[in-house]
Amino acid sequence: MTAPGNLMQALFLRLKTDASLSALLGGAGLLEQASDKAAFPNVTYGRTSAFDLETGADNDNDQLVTLHIWSKAQGEAETRRIMDSIRARLDGAAFSIGSRGQTRLSLEFAEARYDEDLAVHHGLLRFRALTQEATSQTAPTHVAQE
């Protein structure tokens, strides 16, 4: 199984190595959580859910991961460019996290809107992360992380 924390670390590592995303974020715009002192634009961890849709029980092999994009730019163009960059980097990506198997991401939901209460543009990207356990008959496939 892929623990939610390990998955988020792998996602952020993948994003931190993307030069075009770093340029859009001005360098250090990937944060574990929002802060009043954080520079804009930035990307923060969101909710991670690990569950089995059929039983409702916890299941780390099927997770939903949410990333939040925050911008104070005029209009939502900056938010959308950041979202597009993240989507291009993560949608369809495969990770080997530990020795348990391969985790593949697929985009489930994307939304950009203006939050009047916070006076910021807020983007949401939700990815589904499915982990296929390696079997003892087949050696796990190693997918290099960039």
State how far the alpha carbon of 79 is from the alpha carbons of 25, 95, 138, in Å. 10, 26, 42
- For residues 61 and 1, is the Cβ–Cβ distance under 8 A? yes
- For residues 112 and 121, is the Cβ–Cβ distance under 8 A? yes
**Beta strands 42-50; 101-115: pairing state:** unpaired
Average the pLDDT over 135-145 and give the result. 49
* Helix or strand (DSSP H, E) at 69: strand 62-71
**Cα distance between residue 70 and residue 134, in whole Å:** 37
* Helix or strand (DSSP H, E) at 109: strand 101-115
Q: Which one has a higher pLDDT value, 146 or 49?
A: 49
* Helix or strand (DSSP H, E) at 125: strand 120-133
Q: Which one has a higher pLDDT value, 64 or 140?
A: 64
Does 12 score more than 50 pLDDT?
A: yes
Does 1 score more than 80 pLDDT?
A: no
Domains along the sequence of the chain with CATH: 4-133 (3.30.2000.30)
- The region of weakest confidence among 37-51, 100-114, 118-132 is 37-51
pLDDT at 143 (0 to 100): 47
**Beta strands 42-50; 30-31: pairing state:** parallel
- How do residues 44-95 score in pLDDT, each as one tens digit? 988 888 766 666 666 668 889 999 999 999 999 999 999 999 999 999 999 8
Average the pLDDT over 105-117 and give the result. 96
Radius of gyration of the chain (CA): 16
Looking at the chain, the whole-number percentage of residues with pLDDT higher than 70 is 78
